[in-house]
Amino acid sequence: MLTLIGRRLALGILTLLVVSVIIFAGTEILPGDVATAILGQSATPENTAAIREQLGLNRPPYERYFEWLVGFVQGDLGTSLGNRRPIAPQVGFRFENTMLLAAMAACIAVPLSIGLGLISAIKQGTIFDRAISVTSLMAISVPEFFIGYLLIMFISVKLGWLPSLSNVNDRMDFGERITVMALPAITLTLVTLAHMMRMTRAAVISVMNSPYIEMAELKGVRYWRIVIQHALPNVLSPIITVVVLNLAYLVVGVVVVEVVFTYPGMGQFMVDSVSKRDVPVVQATGLIFAMTYVLLNMMADISSILANPRLRHPK
Amino acid sequence: MSESLLLDMQALRIEARGPDGEPFRIVDDVDLQLKRGEVLGLIGESGAGKSTIGLASMNYARTGCAITGGKIIFDGTDLRTLSEDDVRAMRGVKAAYIAQSAAASFNPVKRLNDQVTEAAVRHNVMGRGDAVKRAQELYGKLDLPDPDNIGRRYPHQVSGGQLQRVMSAMAMTCGPDLLVLDEPTTALDVTTQIEVLATVRDLIRTNNTAALYITHDLAVVAQIADRIMVLQYGKLVEVGETNQILHDPQDPYTKELISARTEEINTKVFTGMPENPVLSIKNVTASYDGKVDVLKSIDVDIGRGETVAIVGESGSGKSTLARVVTGLLPPREGHVDFDGETYSPALKQRTKEQLRKAQMIYQMPDVAMNPRQRVSEIIGRPLTFYFGLTGRERDDAMMKLLEEIDMAPEFADRYPGQLSGGQKQRVCIARALAADPELIICDEVTSALDQVVAAGILKLLDRLQKEKDLAYMFITHDLGIVRNIADRTVVMYQGNVVEQGTTEQIFTPPQKEAYTQKLIASTPEMRTDWLDEVLRERGDLFEIDAEKHVD
């Protein structure tokens, strides 16, 4: 089992390396020139050349790639071209904000979706099951920015329950933060709910036809207990996979939602930097997103391995 | 008299919904009486309603089925009039179920003890501590190794035979009045079957538990049942004392069922070892992981028109040998020759002509056919693949094949789901025949079928062999069949050929090899005293086995 986990770790690191190459290459071939973008109106050929020299853009790409990668591994994310300050501290608090928002959304979405999935599996075919199914499908079919604007319109503007802007800052206490973050968190919940819920429902229903479920019924065990104690542990692996995939989506897919609610997180930072052609920031944030994604997926795979008793307790 | 009745089913009717949405009766007005401590064998083909009746004794119907008529009086109360909660309270306590496949009936992620004690704990019969003690006691009685600790294991950590015994313990924890045993030994090897059969019988006798013993194997039920009930198409055919059913069956269907078991099919005289074998397996050693050899230096020849049976328990390497012959598993050493020509070890390198010569028929015709293809397509594809036949020519050839397997032309348009088990296996035979092969590898082709249907398939295979001079490599664990159809028999054990010779040599005592002797002694015979006799004689013969073949 350790070899399996080790292999998975190695694969994760390899994936990250490949991703870093792609991100670097991708930003290299972006149209437009950083030097021109920085100088704006005052871009004369001489000035441009000077800036290029200063930024080291004339050196071969592979040299710059390795320098960047080595720096990144050591925690040096480089210097922003926009404001000439180190990127790390600027990313730091934004990353925290993003993770906080994702965590809040996850705290609502994961228990809710698994709970609803289990209930609809138990009440399979009833009105309740169908109602949940239809509602969640509707939520998943609508793009997240649209859900965001709908929520703003009804909950903030018409009802005035929650603020529409989520510009958190350090002076807010916990309660205020939660209130401000509620709408983006709900938006993210609605977007991810359906996928997890349907997967839970389908996975549970598929094992409900197993002979060991029939055996439990013939032992006179209550139906809901069979679902929770016999069926659920057997479908942990697919559920964990879909949950973690959605967590990864929460972190990475937060970009649009952050922009809609002007939430000061990584996503907004990245979008701003792209428009400013601030290549080092785009590279750094891109790689951080990729790391989160790969890390979460790796955790999904490892927990699936751990959830399998055949691997935990070999013969 | 009526006080001693434990179970009294009256005019029981159970309906299922057919593919067209119309309900049809799968159990039709069956009456069944069972006294306390009595064992009733339910016997019949699959689809006869045996399991459905067994489950109905606990007022349980599988998904898609419903109990629609009659009374199920258990211990004086009609279960059908009880509330769901009251029925649930009786399940696992007063009546318990033992299923065919222990491996599938245990939850793979829960420890054995948790599952064995579940009924007792959930119904507040005893606390968890007492329930575990009770389980350990039962493990000991059932001869399970290390009874104090085996319950902490997970299902995959014990062998199939052991798991079957753990399931018996699970059924017995609450000391039920009724046990429903649904083919409890069918999935086991003959050598393991004996042990489980003996323990189950002891359990029933010492606890004076009544039992419904469901099986399609008359020889097995003869060892354990006081009375036998014969069912066909959900209807009661005949019920009577075990000896009366075995020796003096009244109904023509019962007679057929009993004669299917004893009938001689092959009357060929063995003519000596083949000089120019169709198939020659030479010194084959094979392994799945490159470390453990599952076949060790195997030499087997099969002559033209000859049937060679490969027998042994599961794990002996029988099916692996078939995989090597077909090229699915290239051997680590040795080679496979057809007609004196050495074939490439791997399937992909074999020519179409080489592939054509060896065809295969599988145990489960259900999974060996594409459910979305019509019979005409299933049989027609090899005709196109090997001979390039299309259109009219192909249809004619296909119809001729249908005729050869005794199936009417209208079956060509059916899907596999619309065929019975025997018909499906016939279509698989036709598909193999379509390639005009020299050798057909038959991997447990009758073990998923009922005896009457299986006998039909064997007769068909025999006729085709005579007509087409086919060679069969017949892989099976059913020695009863081997005796009837094989010219020669190869006995395998743990990847080795223990013994090979003419079927007569192998089966005529005294056997040269102790393992062969044990294997043959383990095959149930159709008389009520067989199990007692074997258990009396077992002595050294069975002690070599006890834990050895447990993987």
Using one digit for the tens of pLDDT, what is the confidence trace for B80-104?
999 989 999 999 899 999 988 888 8
Whole-number average pLDDT of chain B: 85
A35-39, A247-251, B408-412: which has the highest mean pLDDT?
B408-412
Q: Which of A209, A225, A233 sits opposite B109 (nearest CB)?
A: A233
Q: How confident is the model at residue B266 (pLDDT cuts 50, 70, 90)?
A: low
**From the list A211, A230, A233, which residue is nearest B99 (CB)?**
A211
Measured between CB atoms, does B139 come within 8 Å of chain A?
A: no
- Tell me the two tokens of residue B488: 């020669």
DSSP H helical segments within B344-450, as ranges?
Answer: 352-357, 375-387, 391-404, 421-434
Long-range contacts formed by B452-457: CB under 8 A, 24+ apart: B452/B45, B452/B256, B452/B257, B452/B260, B453/B45, B453/B420, B453/B421, B453/B422, B454/B260, B454/B422, B454/B481, B455/B260, B455/B263, B455/B265, B456/B422, B457/B422, B457/B425, B457/B426, B457/B429
List the one residue out of A154, A196, A161 whose CA is nearest residue A182.
A161
Ramachandran region, residue B327 (left: φ > 0; alpha: ψ -120 to 50; beta: rest): left
Distance (Å) from the alpha carbon of B149 to chain A's nearest alpha carbon: 14
Q: Nearest residue of A to residue B167 by CA position?
A: A215
Q: Whole-angstrom Cα distance, residue B413 to residue B549? A: 46
Q: Calculate how close chain B gets to A241, using CA atoms only, in Å.
A: 18
Give yes or no for B186 touching A (CB within 8 A). no
Q: Is the pLDDT of residue B551 over 50?
A: no
pLDDT class for B19, splitting at 50, 70, 90? Answer: low
Q: For B60, which residue in chain A has the nearest alpha carbon?
A: A218
Q: Residue range B441-448: average pLDDT?
A: 86
Residue with more model confidence, A308 or B369: B369
What beta strand segments (E) does B79-225 contain?
95-98, 178-182, 210-215
Amino acid residing at B495 = G
Residue A218 has its nearest CB partner, among B91, B104, B157, at B91
- Mean pLDDT computed over B244-262: 84
Report whether B191 contacts B223 (CB < 8 A): no
Shortest Cα–Cα distance, B120 to chain A (Å):
9
Disruptive mutation site among A213, A215, A232 for chain B (greatest number of B CBs within 10 Å):
A215
Kindly state the tokens that stand for B240: 């009577």
Dump strand ranges (E) for B80-139.
95-98
Decide: helix, strand or coil at residue B304: coil
Provide the 3-class DSSP secondary structure of residue B32: strand
> Greater confidence, B284 or B161?
B284
CA of A220 vs chain B CAs: smallest distance (Å): 4
The answer to whether residue A222 neighbours chain B at the CB level (below 8 Å) is yes
Least CA distance to A233: which residue of chain B? B109
Instruction: Specify the pLDDT at position B549.
Output: 41
Which ipTM value was assigned to this complex? 0.72
Place of tokens 């399940």: B91
Q: What count of other Cβ atoms lies within 10 Å of the Cβ of residue B353?
A: 10
* pLDDT one-digit tens code per residue, B195-250: 888 888 888 888 888 999 998 888 888 888 999 999 988 899 999 999 898 888 89
Are the beta carbons of A219 and B118 separated by less than 8 Å? yes
Reported for B538-544, long-range contacts at CB under 8 A and 24+ positions apart, including other chains, are: B541/B514, B541/B517, B542/B194, B542/B518, B544/B514, B544/B518
Q: Higher pLDDT residue, B10 or A268?
A: B10
Cα-based torsion angle of the residue sequence B492, B494, B496, B499 in order, rounded to the nearest 10 degrees? -40
Contact: B58, A212; criterion CB under 8 Å: no
Comparing CA positions, the residue from B267, B345, B308 lying closest to residue B470 is B308
pLDDT tier at A102, thresholds 50, 70, 90: confident
- What mean pLDDT is predicted for residues A100-121? 88
Query: Using the beta-carbon criterion (under 8 Å), do B99 and A225 form an inter-chain contact?
Result: no
Q: Cα dist. B9→B34, B226, B468 in Å?
A: 9, 18, 52
- At A216, the pLDDT band (50, 70, 90 cuts) reads very high
What does the pLDDT average to over B488-498? 90
Residue to mutate among A210, A217, A218, with most B CBs inside 10 A, is A218
Q: What is the pLDDT of residue A296?
A: 84
Domains of chain B (ranges, CATH numbers)? 2-262 (3.40.50.300), 279-508 (3.40.50.300)
The reply to whether B335 touches chain A by the CB within 8 Å rule is no
Percentage of residues in chain B having pLDDT higher than 70: 93
- Dihedral sign (CA A91, A94, A98, A103): positive
Q: Do A221 and B122 touch (CB under 8 A)?
A: yes
Q: How buried is residue B156: exposed, middle or buried, by Cβ count under 10 Å (0-12/13-18/19+)?
A: middle
Interface contact flag, A217 B104, Cβ < 8 Å? no
pLDDT at B398: 92
CATH homologous superfamily of A93-275 equals MetI-like (1.10.3720.10)
- Which residue, among B206, B339, B281, B329, has the nearest Cα to B500 in the 3D structure? B281
Residue B35 burial by Cβ neighbours in a 10 Å radius (0-12, 13-18, 19+): middle
10 Å Cβ neighbour count for B496?
17
Alpha carbon separation from B294 to A306, B317, B323, B332, B496 (Å, rounded) = 30, 6, 12, 11, 8
- Three-state SS for B78? strand
Residues in CB range of B433: below 8 A, 6 or more apart: B359, B401, B404, B405, B464, B468
Q: Does B546 have pLDDT greater than 80?
A: no
Domain locations in chain A? Answer: 93-275
